[in-house]
Amino acid sequence: MAIIILPVCFIALFFIWGLYAGSNAKKREILLGSVLLFSALLPAITELLSAFGVLNFSWLFASWSVVTLAALLWLFQCRQQLHDLIGRHQQKTIFTFRRLSLLNKLLLFLVTGILIVLFAQGIIYPPNNWDSMTYHLGRVASWVSHQSVAYYPTHIIRQLYQPPFAEYTVMQAGLLTGSDHLVNAVQFVYLLFAVLAVSGITQLLGLNRFYQVVAAVLAVTIPEVLLQASSTQNDVVVSFFILAAVYFAILAERKNLLVHYCLFGLSTGLALLTKGTAYVYLAPLLLLFAVAMLHNVIKTRNYAYLRYAVVAALICIAVNTINYSRNYQLNGSILGVDEQESKSYANERMTPGLLLSSIVKNSALHLSIKHTGFVSGTIDKAVANLHQMIGISPHDPDVNYHGMPYKAQVALTSEDSAPNPLHFILVLVSMIVLLTCLIKNRLPSIVLFLFLIILLQIIFFCGYLRWQPWDSRLHVPVFM
């Protein structure tokens, strides 16, 4: 199958990046870096072939073959260093696995079992999600038929302006297999990468392997993630890039190496190229990262922090330049959203009371439990009582999508609206504990950094975007 060219290319890039990173780089850092480099090739090849109107199987396979052959030839030239690299990491991996406790191994086997089932489900069942059929796969079918990603006449405007990275990847998987058997695997593969990023961030927090494994288990078992991992949507994909941005932002601040800034800029750019919610979720990270950079410059008088940050920004912009250009030609905005559509997503007005209302309604989406209708009724009553206390209607059309009335979630097994009740409770308890530690001034700087990111993500999301019945899928990056 022609699709095999993609994993071969990725493996080659992984070894190349491993040789470049050197012996001091951790395996997860190398893996995440190679994932970002491989991901950057996906839109680059797509846009190149599209520019010439040859976005088809033959040219796509030829393009990846050239890249893969070049990578393999480079590795052949460095075969002695490659042999040493493989031997070194093989020994470390075996040693690490043997040192894992029985509980850690059982948890890893649990995660592996879940992932195998998810992969099988995505392969066996064709795409059948409403959002996928009307939007995600709809634009893919048009691109394939036109052999170009140029804009085309359609009444579903989001097929045009929405960030296209995940759909580019789905399209390439479809073209290289000649079917839709692997299109569901795109989110699954990026779930693997996201779990890697979650464990990497946990490691940067200074936690041991047990907590890193627990973090991986918690990430994989998020209900919305389980459902989306076998669909052609893009919330898991954008979650990976946001997590990668957090990971490399921490490394950039700690080590002040240009390579980490470049990967931070690349992951940020790819996140923005994947889904519009990335602008909301990355804003707190970029804000706090900028504050940290200014603090470091003032403290050390080392202006490399600023120079490297500019490089990261330029990479981020470069990744999105072509898509911005198409959107600007569409309606004069680099984001491409027309005024009418923008109003349907953004809150018409915002006050502290409406912000609290939005946070409560978004939180309530995660408290329903299947086969317990009384729970939804209880949630509705609690939300109504709370709104009555603050003198605001939960059905306010200025902050609800298309003026839809608020109601507790009932479609509990849908990729679009599944709740995450247990994980929500864990997040809530964690926030309370962290707030307590913050008040007592017992919060390490990196924990404070991550805590503020999540807190601001919640505030920005609820403050800017209208409440929707299917907001739970948009919350995936926060939960991961």
Average pLDDT, integer, range 145-169 = 91
Q: Give the pair of three-digit tokens for residue 37.
A: 């480099």
Q: List, in sequence order, the alpha helices (H) in 185-337.
A: 185-204, 209-220, 223-228, 235-255, 258-272, 277-300, 304-331
Q: Which residue has the higher pLDDT, 214 or 384?
A: 214
Domain ranges of the chain: 106-341, 346-479
Identify which of 167-171, 366-370, 411-415, 443-447 has the greatest average pLDDT: 167-171
The pLDDT score that the predictor gives to residue 235 is: 93
Q: Which residue has the higher pLDDT, 94 or 47?
A: 47
- Kindly state the average pLDDT of the residues 253-258: 90
pTM above 0.85, yes or no: yes
pLDDT at residue 367, as a whole number: 82
Q: Which of 139-148, 223-232, 327-336 has the lowest mean pLDDT?
A: 327-336
Q: Is the pLDDT of residue 298 over 90?
A: no
* 23-36: pLDDT as tens digits: 677 888 999 999 99
CA dist 147 → 7, 51, 59, 140 (Å): 24, 10, 10, 10
What would the pLDDT profile of 76-110 be if each residue is shown by its tens digit?
Answer: 898 888 777 777 777 777 777 777 788 888 988 88
What pLDDT score was predicted for residue 318?
A: 96
Asked whether the predicted pLDDT for residue 371 surpasses 60, the reply is no
Both tokens assigned to 109: 């086997």
Q: How far apart are CA 152 and CA 140, in angstroms?
A: 12
Name the least confident of 260-264, 413-417, 446-450. Answer: 413-417
What does the block give as tokens for 227? 């459902």
Residue 404 CA to residue 250 CA, distance in Å, equals 40
Task: Tell me the C-alpha distance between 194 and 104, whole Å.
Answer: 19
In one-letter notation, the amino acid at residue 24 is N
Interatomic CA distance for residues 406 and 395, integer angstroms:
5
Lowest mean pLDDT among 93-102, 166-175, 370-379: 370-379
- As a whole number of Å, the end-to-end CA separation of the chain is 33
Per-residue confidence (pLDDT) for residue 135, from 0 to 100: 87
> What single-letter DSSP state applies at residue 402?
G
Confidence (pLDDT) at 88: 75
Closest CA to 36 of 13, 15, 19, 18: 13
pLDDT of residue 409: 64
Mean pLDDT of the chain: 88
| More confident of the two residues 187 and 27 | 187
Which band of pLDDT confidence, cut at 50, 70 and 90, is reported for residue 251? very high
Closest residue by Cα to residue 341 from 402, 400, 403, 273: 402
User: Amino acid letter at 25?
Assistant: A
pLDDT value of residue 71 = 93
Taking only Cα atoms into account, the Rg of the chain, rounded to an integer number of angstroms, comes to 23
